[in-house]
Structure 1
Amino acid sequence: MKAAAGMAHPVSTPALCSVLHQHGWSLPERCTKLRPANKLQNVQYNSALRQSKAIRNDLEKLSSSAAQPAALTPAEIGNVSASLASFSKTVDEYNNLARQELVQKKQEEAFERVKRFRDDLSDFKSQIESLKKAREDAVHSNNRGELLGRRAYVTATPENPYANVNKSSSSFHSRGASTGQAGSGLSMGGNDVTREQHALREQNFFANTNSALDEYIARGQAVLGDLGTQREMLKNTQKRLYSVGNTLGISGDTIRMIERRAKEDKWIFWAGVIIFFLFCWACIHFLR
């Protein structure tokens, strides 16, 4: 009867456990298993609080150097982005634990904390995006100013530094063919322009290479953070699997013990039946 009642009214949700706790009734075993979630909830809250403070400090440091946005490296921004991803996962885990809270007042307080954490997360993301945009604009303006500053002595300078290379070289060669000394001077000027263009292209190549390397480092840091989080998740999953395996092993031993006891009881029953019939036959045979 108790087993049937337990199957008819299973307590499997934190909501039913919360109702039992509010009315002061004794909690079943399934509800008592939810109590360790409070400790994990406090741990996750403290972890999220530390991560929020660390990210805020990092953003303040980056904002202090916003006077020179070009000085910001993609590695620094990528490090903060990886911290934001870890903070978002911690907030999600804290939200899941808050749903298992039995006391309604504590649950509402936990939901308020989750809301504040999510507001901080959106604020952090907007600050990161603004820093990225400011850095890109600063790098673009610096490259353009450097390019125009290097070629200020050339009149009618186009936006493309390689637009008039063929024209300048052909004009210099034609003038060199017509006049000797003047042509040699112009050819030297053409060589200077070509040398300047090669130096500019080399500098742009190195700048792009450095930016690409910084981006690769930032992505590597983000991937490393994700791998660390996945490692923790796999550890927790392994612990749960071990716990389930131990529970199943104990249940199997119990079932085998019950089957062995039932088999022994069956042999005892049939032996008692045989002894009873033999006793009845002996009474009838000898006392007739």
Structure 2
Amino acid sequence: MNALFNHALKQSQSIKSDLETFAQSPSTTSLALQGQISATLSSLQRSLDEYDAAARREVIQDKQDKAFSRIRNFRAEAADARTQFEQLKREREEALTSVNRAELLGRRPHQSGTPDNPYASSNSSSISANQSVPAVAIPREFLTRTTDQLDEFIERGRAVLGDLTEQKNMLKSTQRKLYSAANTLGVSNETIKYIERRAKQDKVFFYGGICICLLAFYLILRLFR
């Protein structure tokens, strides 16, 4: 269980460090860090479940109580971290919304109520007809949202890849345990077969000895008669 405890402790410390970085500047923190925090929280939950299962199999009461106490502390820290993470995400969304609103209002052009020469509209329209229509500029807010969505998709992919890597390592560990158990079982089978052969040999010697003794008794009785 010490390995499970150290692994959970490492994940908990990583989450605290990432949350501190996120809290320093929520509005400028990338979605990559958010995805990393989310993935680590999910991985910590799985680690605590494994730790809890191992603690329930512990036969020494003191070690089991100590493990359960550590698990409760880890779960409380994970819950606090998740609450702080959600709060920081809300602060980031609010900050980005305020920035986008300010930029949108700042780009709005100023229109005059009455033109200086109202009779010049026909001339200006004829001139503008000969000019090409300018390209429509893409709003910065749209680009920002698109970039954020792409980053979110990438981080989700990284989280899934991390989960698959972790599952691969677990499968490798399980495979090694199965091989070890198979090797141990193979040695046991050979030992059992060796014992069975020795038992058969001992039976042959035993019954053979009985036959020889009976024959000797018969010969002795026959000679003395």
Could you tell me the TM-score, scaled by structure 1's length?
Answer: 0.64
Q: Aligned residue for 1:240? A: 177
Q: Aligned residue for 1:150? A: 107
Could you tell me the TM-score, scaled by structure 2's length?
Answer: 0.80
Asked if the contact 1:86–1:225 (Cα under 8 Å) also holds between the matched residues in 2, the reply is: no
Asked if the contact 2:8–2:47 (Cα under 8 Å) also holds between the matched residues in 1, the reply is: yes
1:134 correspondence with 2:72:
no
Distance across 2 between alignment mates of 1:248 and 1:263: 23
Distance across 1 between alignment mates of 2:111 and 2:88: 35
Q: What is the one-letter code of the residue matched to 1:52?
A: S
Q: Aligned residue for 2:117? A: none
1:168-183 maps to which residues of 2 (within 5 A)? 180-183=122-125
Q: Aligned residue for 1:218? A: 155
Distance across 1 between alignment mates of 2:207 and 2:2: 60
Shift of 1:154: 6.0
Identical aligned residues as a percent: 43
Q: Which runs of 5+ in 1 are unaligned?
A: 1-40, 156-178
1:1-288 maps to which residues of 2 (within 5 A)? 41-66=1-26, 69=27, 71-153=28-110, 180-184=122-126, 191=133, 195=135, 198-200=136-138, 203=140, 206-288=143-225
Distance across 1 between alignment mates of 2:201 and 2:209: 12
Shift of 1:72: 2.4
Asked if the contact 2:18–2:33 (Cα under 8 Å) also holds between the matched residues in 1, the reply is: no
Number of residue pairs the alignment of both structures matches = 218
Name the structure, 1 or 2, with higher relative contact order (CA <8 Å, separation 6+). 2
- What SS does the corresponding residue of 1:210 show, helix, strand or coil? helix
Q: CA RMSD in A?
A: 3.0
Q: Which runs of 5+ in 2 are unaligned?
A: 113-120
**Cα displacement string for residues 80-104 of structure 1 (whole angstroms, at most 9, x for unaligned residues):** 1122222223322332333344443
Shift of 1:79: 1.1
Asked if the contact 1:79–1:222 (Cα under 8 Å) also holds between the matched residues in 2, the reply is: yes
Shift of 1:256: 0.4
Bigger shift: residues 136-145 or 209-218: 136-145
Q: What is the one-letter code of the residue matched to 2:219?
A: A
**Cα displacement string for residues 94-132 of structure 1 (whole angstroms, at most 9, x for unaligned residues):** 323333444434432321221111011111112222223
**Cα displacement string for residues 46-85 of structure 1 (whole angstroms, at most 9, x for unaligned residues):** 332232222112111111103xx2x222111001112222
